[in-house]
Structure 1
Amino acid sequence: MSSDIVIRVEGLYKQYGLPLMPMLRSAAARLRGRPAVEPRWSLRDINFEVKSGETLGIIGYNGAGKSTLLKVLARVTPPTRGSVEVRGRVFPMIELNAGMNMELTGRENVLLLGILMGMSRAEIRAKLPEIEAFCELGRWFDESVWKYSSGMLARLGFSVALNVDADILLVDEVLAVGDITFQRKSLDRMERMQQSGKTVLFVSHSIRQVERLCDRVLLLNEGRQVAIGKANEIVSQYYETANTRILEHYAANGEKHTIVQEKLQNAVIDILNVHLLDGGENPKNHFHTGDMVIIEVEYEAHQPVECPIIGFGINTVDALYISGFANKGFESEMSLHGRGRFRCTIPRLPLLNGIYQLDVKIKHTNDSILGGGRGLAVFSVTVPGEVRLAVDYGLVMIEAEWGK
């Protein structure tokens, strides 16, 4: 391995269980005249390298092999085939109570984890005050950890991981159980670790955290390596795949209009359809940052409504609300009755890479809701090359005027 490479994985395959059992099942199937049973691989032909000081995110659906990959890297389980090289002291945060003795106190478990890391008692005792302060467990620090909640276990284990002198940190969904204050503090500490040259492999279903922390991202699906590359590019690919799977699932189960398009029941105004058009009034569901977007809504009003307040909300497919806007101040120019349609134009779409959903809400001036729904249109956005040079992260492009 070259001097700047600390992790190298080549042709990695992982299969749990004794290899004899799949062979016996295949032999039994052949005797019955059936096709041979395909072996079930948790990981298949994984290949990547990680440089010193790099943060690699690992994402994928449940069962993709993310946790198994970290366990192989942590030497918790051996590879079935292929080679795995890891250089440096590794601290795995793969399970909340990994390496802990549930009968010992938090303080005693810190000493235990430090020793398991190869640190001397003097080294870990020197770190103890900092770890105690970071985990903020108070009197619980000297209580047996079997009394801890999952969030308290995460605080203890993650505090050790972030304060011991590890070269490589393996993190698997640990931040998901902490409260928002501890999550923020841990993310800030991880960013400082990155700046100090530590290497981090980060598994999470929180794609926003992955985008914030990671230089590159590895995408897995059913144990196979789908793609590896820049974080924003791989995350966009993941969102597109996820959105396609969601729509296919709902369509296959006949649920499209009741789940993807969740409309207000017993509404005074029913939303019949929502169309997205480009500047040339062509129907589209994919736009570029900066494009003109026309939102056209078909409706049926069961009774005349004067001066309605019409609002749109934009959110990501993982339910993160981005922004909302309404015709407030222009409602006197509108009246809805019978069947009809109305339009709203976004002159320059400010959204960056991602898959987005459009919500609609129609209210009376007294704030009572007359109609609307969630997820009534789904569209994707990519950033054109000339914009990508100036905007490389986030969700929206903010236009600004510069001077001196």
Structure 2
Amino acid sequence: MDKRSLLQLVRPYVQVFDGPLFLIVCLILLVGSITLYSAGIDFPGRFEDHMRNIMISLFIMWLAALVPPQTMMRFAVPLYTLGVALLIGVAMFGLIRNGARRWIDLGVIIQPSEIMKIAMPMMLAWFFQKREGITRWSEFLVAGVLLVIPIGLIMRQPDLGTSLLVLAAGFYVIFFAGLSWKVLAAGVVAALASLPVAWSMLHDYQRERVMTLIDPTTDPLGKGFHIIQSTIAIGSGGIAGKGWLHGTQAHLEFIPERTTDFIFAVFSEEFGLIGNGILLLLYLLLIGRGMIIAANAPTLFTRLMAGAITMIFFTYAFVNMGMVSGILPVVGVPLPFVSYGGTAFVTLGLGVGILMSIQRHRKLMQS
């Protein structure tokens, strides 16, 4: 008969969590839940759904933390291949909603582009691991092709926000693998030179977003409404904010999508500059802890994965805060662990779980 206490029985399953990382994530979730309650008070059931999404995210995080990095490597190629195949399926017979073809019905409706947020860095990390850190230009060329294929399929849907996140995830792996600064500078110059061509390839609504960013007052009741109202909310928060549940821009329904993409405007109005500083500090701690895990990771695959996932969190936060503040175009990127949304929570929870797995198995290898 097993005479171990309940704590002794549960401890091995709880110890999969990295303490500092889990604490930081929980603090951001707490901030997000408080803000979501206020932002979604006029949406019955929204807060309850948010709590459910958090529980699902934590469960996914726990499962991912249990999986050894060596097992993740074995799934890199199949997951990437499945993701690309599903994206091709979306292009051929995907479901169209609001003018975009982003979903596919396989008995359940899924959005394959979400798979690539994790599959893309995993595939490229596997690729460089198999080449044992060789950084010849040919390896970077192949990696670039592996990155461009899903990006092209996602942009075709069109989905600029997701394509940006997948592009960033893949680029971070290539950069951390040893991409030369000279090559990077040449790429930036080439990208700037190709802007006229890229502009001509954008959809009309994407061009309108860029023009609205430059001067939202040209269409204050239409395309510029989001940016104008969100910047008013941020500015009206002042130093200490108007107080929880007292944001007028949010509760008088001037802020659109206030529980999802523009929740940062609600937070800024109610908690002000002080609240923003605390939230930024939490994100910096999250990124810092992720980078420490990446730096201490035992293999090239785990270092690249940890570094890329950490920088994905940075990209989520930077792009969301930038678009809500009016310094970046509106591209539909949620604020990590704050914005309402089930799919984003699953992706973010999986990413944190992978970081925890890398840290946990490094300790097991050392013990």
TM class by smaller structure = under 0.3
Q: RCO greater where, 1 or 2, for CA within 8 Å and sep 6 or more?
A: 2
Structure with the higher fraction of residues in helix conformation: 2
Query: What TM-score does the superposition give when structure 1 sets the normalisation length?
Result: 0.21
In the superposition, the TM-score normalised over structure 2's length comes to 0.23
Structure ranking higher in strand proportion: 1
